[in-house]
Structure 1
């Protein structure tokens, strides 16, 4: 049951929404953004105004991306209601919707122009810092807040982030950008746009470099190259090509971690992608599309473990001698993956009041990671899907959205993910919606087959992960009531989502109990090494009891004066579970207030973001728990536009984490050694950028 303050908040929000709706603010020409709500493409795969969608969606457009001054794409998602984003270190991002992210958040689908970028070798999550895309190429980001497996399958369990890049026909010309700042920030990018009749080409190159956060081994040097081509074959058909390359080095690990279980090293990655899409429109209300993409990822991650570190924690002389002997143990965490995906989709309007879409998709993943799957060959998995979505206007004020995805993945039976929503457009810019969906998330290859061992002279010092071939998909039944209000005279927008999400068979990283014998190469181990006794073993398994997430989230966008906008986000979540670790893995609240302003040639933004306490991070120590306290962070950006001759130039000064150093996530083997003192902290970063367009 939800607590009384939650119900009070719901009632208060309802009253506030109507009060705000009845008050008009003076506004300039910028009100047109709200008067004609933009079409969104992601929720049902059908082009729909926001008030027609079967679920809540937040759009971050190119103007807001530029105004933020952010260098990292994932940080933008802190501006979205319900998103919980953190950093354990400067070169890695932890991104979830409604928490439950564990070590590697994988409850959310991430797309670039419809191409899935969740990674088989990144444990089913997205490697946000290795995506082959630059912020300047993005037209908008559509975030579906709620389960969307009816449109995108298993990984859209809690939501979808679709990054949509700009069509070459909408480009204005070439540009360059350079950035310099604190802690070694030295970024550079260039964009070249060419058009010749029906062909448009854009080539983007970007380098991101910094030394990370103070006191942490987390520097990075990432290079990205991206090519987009749009070829108009006829008045009815078009061919689009996207090719991306991301390579670089990232500093990893910590100096004082328990038994050196995450040693300091530099990992290198090389990721490549190719995406081809053909679209054909027989008429204005019909479209066929056929797409193929290929992703290839490779990481070199090698280091040596010195298990004698922190030997002072061990008092037994025999155990101390054992640890001193276990030095310079090589760890080869090199891994590579491939993905091939083919999709056919058909959209049509059969009647003035009815539009529909159907499609089929086939995918094959291949993963070679000897360290993650001890003694096993490369793993592979095949998937196929059939999906459909329907929009039916029952009456002028009533709209029905129905959809379903039939999905089959190796090692499992056919699963059906349905969705049903009813929207009541009451007039005056107000829309109420209510709906239900059911979704499944299949175990990743890592969750099912993980077998990770640290071996020295033929003896297993630590059996970190054990496989669980009997693990089952987790299921969610999501119910929601939503309210969308375009305020009078286009002065703002209010978007509210009240949700109840019931999850069965949640997949958790769980300790292997002491009564469960340790078997190595078919033989029982009666006296495990001291490292195994302290660190223990884990496996991914299904939680035996249901988990419930109840809460509300809302966003209020106001333009109370000319050239200015205020955006307020707030989320309250109550997680109900029989296991405390599950409850604490969801921050009970998040909030954010952003002010965007223009003053002639000047523009700026200021964001104050609040994150509630959460038990989230990476690593494992048997019996050890640590909850990161709530924190507040302040970000700003201010820009001046001018001309150098005929060249438009923008100078921008930006900073993040201005409120000072704070902890956002925990690395447990390091925190175990440090005690109550925050072991991983992020701090201020300030940089100056120069952007010129030609």
Structure 2
């Protein structure tokens, strides 16, 4: 672990010395307990509207998966969790490049979801993506994952276009005893994880997590060679809570990730592999002050920075480094393209003809050496950063009406000599609000966000209206309509893509050239992508007391939806051929269903303590004018898992996930797992668990164009993973 990480860890732990006496006020605004329920036992969530609401009152479909289920299912990564979320499409371009989108759509760059860690956005606005292996947490740090399965720009702003995934990490109070976890398995999986925490005073607590995750990715590529898509990452994160007074709390998060994600291909002339050397850092502070039982103020700020080093050696003909050819490309790109293709350019101005003649003469003077392959080192190094600050005010006006309002500002930047010829920045500001009004069996939610950015011609308004009606004590129907947007990323608006030759340059005709001739510059003024979503849903929660002190709960959510999307940017960012437009439209319609059932005691057989079942299914129809908007589309997707708990600290899990064809290829997975915990004197325990995964089709395909698929191949249809967890 590098010195910077060690130093920040020491600085973080030194906060113990500043711990002050005092306890948090007990009132309606106290932080949600680890499992929060309303007076009828229905789960209460904050993610969808920023208001603490029963699921009966939320104007959206929400999936929540708890830490206990993640552990018992022996899930290793967050993308694996999302397979159990209705309507979520999960694919892999390679072993370390998950392609995840709600309702599928464009799998090349799945850039229409917001990903939060404790409310901090980890969406990379420079690249319009989420780099999943680079997140500063592992699955062991997660307390729960809440997925709002609806457009959420009214709550979380631009780039929350189709869904929001909020990853809630463990509170320091939940990690007080040291723990060590190791995992080994197929695909070269070798993980080590440890966490520890303490509460040195009533007012201060902290937890620290360290992890190393290694895997080899898929076994082979489409030509049967070893697939180069492994991951070797180190993670550190720390979380602390400081009660400054009875009414004021300060929560802090620090996270680091560093390591290598292997990359197999960057250009067709490469002679070395363009592996990505990643370093990421994340800082967040959240200050909360409770004025009264009806009024709370929050101030939250975070800073993230990702350093990405990508370099490789390639070879190109010497003539392509002529400064005159680069000058011609800037003056008339069609002329330059014709000469590179071995054709005589025509149709331009006299100046174009004169410069073209100069280029041809210089190529002729090089003779046969003009076609010699010149070996050069190029890079796509970049530093991407984001700073955000936000103020949020929540007020309970009456028993019938409460609201949250706030404002925030963001600065995003991308530094790269290759991608933006220096530095690109974008400032943005926002104001938002959501109000809940209840009258009898009706609950009305009205929310909106107004945002403005330097790259926008005018501010964007994202409104939402939701109406919920309690048709019975255990059932609610809802209707919601909303508009959400995704703004163009920095590479779409400020792209100035050049490859600079490393070192002193390439000698061409007596001159020292430092650049490859071609330049890819942003051409079009893109406008935000837009979705207008309509949803009708039915939510039910039934809690039944059984004989012998048993209990059962049944929770289900059904929704039908109709989404109209327009002004979509569907093109993949390619160096030689990237002309993004807003010419794509897509209409999505379908239905989703999720069910969770839990039973303990009652009619269960004596050898079984309890049982948990989760099932989901989604049906989707798409109508689009662009092939790429179908690249992650499946008409049918679904998942099912069940976990059985036995009296002797044993459990058994069974799981299935799958989909109908995605561009001609289905993908299914079957899992069976088991585990047992051994208790020791002194309070320590050891858990041993194992899981077998069976993929009927050993070939996992991902579409990158209308004519070409990337194949990821397993050597065997069956994989085995073993996990040991020791708590001191």
TM range, normalised to the smaller chain?
A: 0.7 to 0.9
Query: 1:508 and 1:281, CA in 2 relative to 1: closer, same or farther beyond 3 A?
Result: same
Aligned to 2:643: 596
Alpha-carbon contact 2:106-2:631 (below 8 Å) kept:
no
Alpha-carbon contact 1:89-1:681 (below 8 Å) kept:
no
Deviation at 1:332, TM superposition (A): 0.5
Q: Which runs of 5+ in 2 are unaligned?
A: 1-34, 220-225, 318-339, 344-367, 507-512, 545-551
Alpha-carbon contact 2:520-2:576 (below 8 Å) kept:
no
Query: 1:68 and 1:289, CA in 2 relative to 1: closer, same or farther beyond 3 A?
Result: same
Q: Which of 156, 163, 169 is matched with 2:167 structurally?
A: 163
Alpha-carbon contact 1:628-1:664 (below 8 Å) kept:
no
Is the partner of 2:700 in helix, strand or coil? Answer: coil
Aligned-partner Cα distance in 2 for 1:631–1:210: 21
Query: 1:667 and 1:217, CA in 2 relative to 1: closer, same or farther beyond 3 A?
Result: farther
RMSD, aligned α-carbons: 2.9
Deviation at 1:439, TM superposition (A): 1.4
Alpha-carbon contact 1:667-1:680 (below 8 Å) kept:
no
Deviation at 1:465, TM superposition (A): 5.1
Is the partner of 2:177 in helix, strand or coil? Answer: coil
Q: Summarize the alignment of residues 67-216 of structure 1 with structure 2, pairs less than 5 Å apart.
A: 67-121=72-126, 123-197=127-201, 198-214=203-219, 215-216=226-227
Aligned to 2:257: 246
Q: Which of 232, 237, 243 is matched with 2:243 structurally?
A: 232
The reply to whether residue 497 of structure 1 matches residue 559 of structure 2 is: yes
Aligned to 2:578: 538
Aligned to 1:621: none
Alpha-carbon contact 2:699-2:711 (below 8 Å) kept:
no
Deviation at 1:429, TM superposition (A): 0.7
Aligned to 1:344: 391
Aligned to 1:3: none
Aligned-partner Cα distance in 1 for 2:228–2:61: 39
Is the partner of 1:659 in helix, strand or coil? Answer: coil
Query: 1:173 and 1:484, CA in 2 relative to 1: closer, same or farther beyond 3 A?
Result: same
Aligned to 2:419: 372
Aligned-partner Cα distance in 2 for 1:690–1:323: 61
What per-residue deviation string (whole Å, max 9, x for no partner) do you get for residues 258-281 of structure 1? 724796232211101111111011
Query: 1:111 and 1:538, CA in 2 relative to 1: closer, same or farther beyond 3 A?
Result: same
Aligned to 1:649: 686
Aligned-partner Cα distance in 2 for 1:423–1:436: 12
The reply to whether residue 563 of structure 1 matches residue 589 of structure 2 is: no
Aligned to 2:56: 51
Deviation at 1:582, TM superposition (A): 2.7
Q: Which of 522, 533, 550 is matched with 1:467 structurally?
A: 522
Deviation at 1:435, TM superposition (A): 1.2
Aligned-partner Cα distance in 2 for 1:323–1:57: 61
Aligned-partner Cα distance in 1 for 2:444–2:125: 36
Deviation at 1:554, TM superposition (A): 0.9
Aligned-partner Cα distance in 1 for 2:485–2:677: 49
Aligned to 2:494: 449
Aligned to 1:417: 462
The reply to whether residue 486 of structure 1 matches residue 541 of structure 2 is: yes
Aligned-partner Cα distance in 2 for 1:57–1:322: 63
Q: Which of 637, 644, 654 is matched with 1:606 structurally?
A: 654
Alpha-carbon contact 2:256-2:281 (below 8 Å) kept:
yes
The reply to whether residue 293 of structure 1 matches residue 338 of structure 2 is: no
Deviation at 1:79, TM superposition (A): 0.6
Aligned to 1:22: none
Alpha-carbon contact 1:662-1:681 (below 8 Å) kept:
yes
Alpha-carbon contact 1:253-1:262 (below 8 Å) kept:
no
Deviation at 1:170, TM superposition (A): 3.4
What per-residue deviation string (whole Å, max 9, x for no partner) do you get for residues 57-96 of structure 1? 1001111111121211121011100111111222222111
Aligned to 1:548: 587
Aligned-partner Cα distance in 1 for 2:492–2:419: 10
Deviation at 1:145, TM superposition (A): 0.2
Deviation at 1:317, TM superposition (A): 13
Is the partner of 1:161 in helix, strand or coil? Answer: strand
Alpha-carbon contact 2:91-2:632 (below 8 Å) kept:
no
What TM-score do the two structures reach when normalised by structure 1?
0.82
Alpha-carbon contact 1:89-1:682 (below 8 Å) kept:
no
The reply to whether residue 403 of structure 1 matches residue 447 of structure 2 is: yes
Aligned-partner Cα distance in 2 for 1:183–1:573: 32
What per-residue deviation string (whole Å, max 9, x for no partner) do you get for residues 531-566 of structure 1? xxxx9612221025x321111111122347561222
Aligned-partner Cα distance in 1 for 2:379–2:641: 44
Deviation at 1:98, TM superposition (A): 1.0
Q: Which runs of 5+ in 1 are unaligned?
A: 1-29, 309-315, 513-534, 615-626
The reply to whether residue 659 of structure 1 matches residue 699 of structure 2 is: no
Alpha-carbon contact 2:270-2:312 (below 8 Å) kept:
no
Query: 1:324 and 1:143, CA in 2 relative to 1: closer, same or farther beyond 3 A?
Result: farther
Query: 1:461 and 1:591, CA in 2 relative to 1: closer, same or farther beyond 3 A?
Result: farther
The reply to whether residue 476 of structure 1 matches residue 485 of structure 2 is: no
Alpha-carbon contact 1:664-1:682 (below 8 Å) kept:
no
Is the partner of 2:661 in helix, strand or coil? Answer: coil
Aligned-partner Cα distance in 2 for 1:273–1:579: 37
What per-residue deviation string (whole Å, max 9, x for no partner) do you get for residues 411-438 of structure 1? 2111111000000111141110001001
Is the partner of 1:447 in helix, strand or coil? Answer: helix
Aligned-partner Cα distance in 2 for 1:547–1:464: 31
The reply to whether residue 636 of structure 1 matches residue 684 of structure 2 is: no
Aligned to 2:21: none
The reply to whether residue 692 of structure 1 matches residue 692 of structure 2 is: no
Aligned to 1:679: 711
Is the partner of 2:397 in helix, strand or coil? Answer: strand
What TM-score do the two structures reach when normalised by structure 2?
0.79
Is the partner of 2:95 in helix, strand or coil? Answer: coil
Alpha-carbon contact 1:362-1:385 (below 8 Å) kept:
yes
Deviation at 1:54, TM superposition (A): 1.2
Aligned-partner Cα distance in 2 for 1:77–1:650: 25
Deviation at 1:318, TM superposition (A): 8.0
Aligned-partner Cα distance in 1 for 2:75–2:251: 28
Query: 1:580 and 1:262, CA in 2 relative to 1: closer, same or farther beyond 3 A?
Result: farther
Alpha-carbon contact 1:246-1:271 (below 8 Å) kept:
yes
